[in-house]
Amino acid sequence: MAGGVTVCVLLVSVLAVGSSSSTDQLLPEDTAYEMITEYRDNYPPPNLPYAYDALEPFVNEATLKVHHQGHHRAYCTKMNAALKEWRKQDPESQLAKSSLYDIMKNLSGVPEPWRTAIRNNGGGFINHIFYFVTMRNKVYTAPMGELAKQVNATFGGYERFMEEFGEAARNLFGSGYVWLVEDEERNISIINTANQDSPISDGLYPLLVLDVWEHAYYLQHMNRRTNYIGKWWGVAHWGAVSRIQEWWRKVRGDEDEEDDEEEYDWEKEVPEEKMRRSMIGRKRFQRKRRRVEVGGKMRDKPRATRSCNSPLV
């Protein structure tokens, strides 16, 4: 095992530094998943929307470099090679000319010589995109708006959701992922997928994902998966999750009507240093935000003035 770790450390030393960004600026890399619904001759490995050290101390720089530039790039390269060969050998195939999303939805229609390679590497490419874009440091780590209501209705609250999601991650045998997904009827659920299988192939829409392959945490936590899961909650980016949910609904033509009510932009207006990650911190922070100055005195803010998009507590 020591030899394997040494190889990983050596790999880290030769990898380039990732892109950096502020947490409040939306970059093209934040929505890299949009490319999967497009036909492309060659899908590029997307850059990260943050620097490799930006998730410290929750996910360390060495782990993120190897994960992104080593594993993710390899899946991308092998997927593109399989797609290219399939399209070359079967130029009349309409499925081969489709988007990666359509191909992953219809894996049974992919000829056997390329099906396994596309399932494994196409899945690895897509799964990692959602994993990377739904992490960010110093953001409010709780569901907001409609997603908060869904979590409450489905799981009985955010704390209960965290318990069930964490349990699914701890109990997943071998390698794979734990997901929060939505179906066509807007029902959300927690599922596991093995290896690089994608929820898309089961007709589901991925919202949030935790990679529990050992390469996602071994350099930092060795075989202590529970430690990794606990740390990961500190960078779960619910703003990105809500953005992905809205995007999926547009993809399937299931958009909500425009709401004239002005939304309260928590991520823009609330200072990052006050975005506490413990449940106690979140509750204290919410109580502070509910008080306003009236006639020179601090009073509770009327609940009717608060948008339904306030974060879940």
Residues 62 and 147 in one domain: yes
H/E run at residue 123: helix 123-133
Reading the block at residue 205, the tokens are 């829409």
* CATH number of the domain to which 132 belongs: 3.55.40.20
Pick from 93-107, 152-166, 221-235, 268-282: least confident: 268-282
Asked if residue 38 is part of any domain, the answer here is yes
H/E run at residue 79: helix 73-89
- The CA distance from 281 to 300, in Å, is 19
DSSP 15-45: SPP-----TTS--GGGGGGGGGGS--SSPPP
Cα 280 to Cα 179, 191, 267, 313, distances in angstroms: 25, 28, 19, 9
Asked if residue 115 is part of any domain, the answer here is yes
Residues 236 and 276 in one domain: no
Residues 286 and 188 in one domain: no
* pLDDT above 90 (res 311): no
Q: Are 140 and 281 in contact (CB under 8 A)?
A: no
Q: Domain count of the chain?
A: 2
Higher pLDDT, 278 or 123: 123
CA dihedral over 167, 190, 201, 246, signed as positive or negative: negative
Residues 225 and 298 in one domain: no
Residues 134 and 230 in one domain: yes
- The CA distance from 249 to 253, in Å, is 6
Residues 67 and 112 in one domain: yes
Asked if residue 41 is part of any domain, the answer here is yes
In eight-state DSSP terms, residue 119 is I
Asked if residue 278 is part of any domain, the answer here is yes
In eight-state DSSP terms, residue 222 is T
What is the pLDDT averaged over residues 221-238?
Answer: 90
Asked if residue 193 is part of any domain, the answer here is yes
Asked if residue 82 is part of any domain, the answer here is yes
Higher pLDDT, 37 or 15: 37
pLDDT of residue 273: 39
pLDDT of residue 27: 79
Of the pLDDT bands very low, low, confident and very high (cuts 50, 70, 90), residue 22 is: very low
pLDDT of residue 62: 93
Asked if residue 265 is part of any domain, the answer here is no
Residues 240 and 288 in one domain: no
Q: Which of 148, 213, 152, 153 is nearest to 178 (CA)?
A: 213
Residues 14 and 59 in one domain: yes
23-76: per-residue pLDDT in tens?
456 778 889 999 999 999 999 999 999 999 999 999 999 999 999 998 999 999
Q: Which residue has the tokens 């589901």?
A: 204
Q: What is the mean pLDDT of the chain?
A: 79
Q: Are 200 and 101 in contact (CB under 8 A)?
A: yes
List the domain range (segments joined by +) for residue 233. Answer: 2-251
pLDDT of residue 140: 63
Residues 285 and 150 in one domain: no
pLDDT of residue 134: 95
* pLDDT above 80 (res 15): no
Q: Which of 234, 1, 248 is nearest to 134 (CA)?
A: 234
Asked if residue 313 is part of any domain, the answer here is no
In eight-state DSSP terms, residue 183 is -
- Look up residue 163 and give its amino acid: E
Residues 279 and 186 in one domain: no
Of the pLDDT bands very low, low, confident and very high (cuts 50, 70, 90), residue 284 is: very low
In eight-state DSSP terms, residue 106 is T
142-174: per-residue pLDDT in tens?
898 999 999 999 999 999 999 999 999 999 999
Distance of CA 293 to the CA centre of its chain: 38
What is the pLDDT averaged over residues 244-261?
Answer: 78
What is the pLDDT averaged over residues 111-134?
Answer: 96
Residues 244 and 274 in one domain: no
Reading the block at residue 225, the tokens are 């998966």
pLDDT of residue 56: 92
92-106: per-residue pLDDT in tens?
999 999 999 999 999
Cα 167 to Cα 83, 162, 188, 230, distances in angstroms: 36, 8, 17, 11
Residues 6 and 68 in one domain: yes
User: What residues have CB less than 8 Å from 88, skipping those under 6 apart?
Assistant: none
pLDDT > 70: percent of the chain: 73
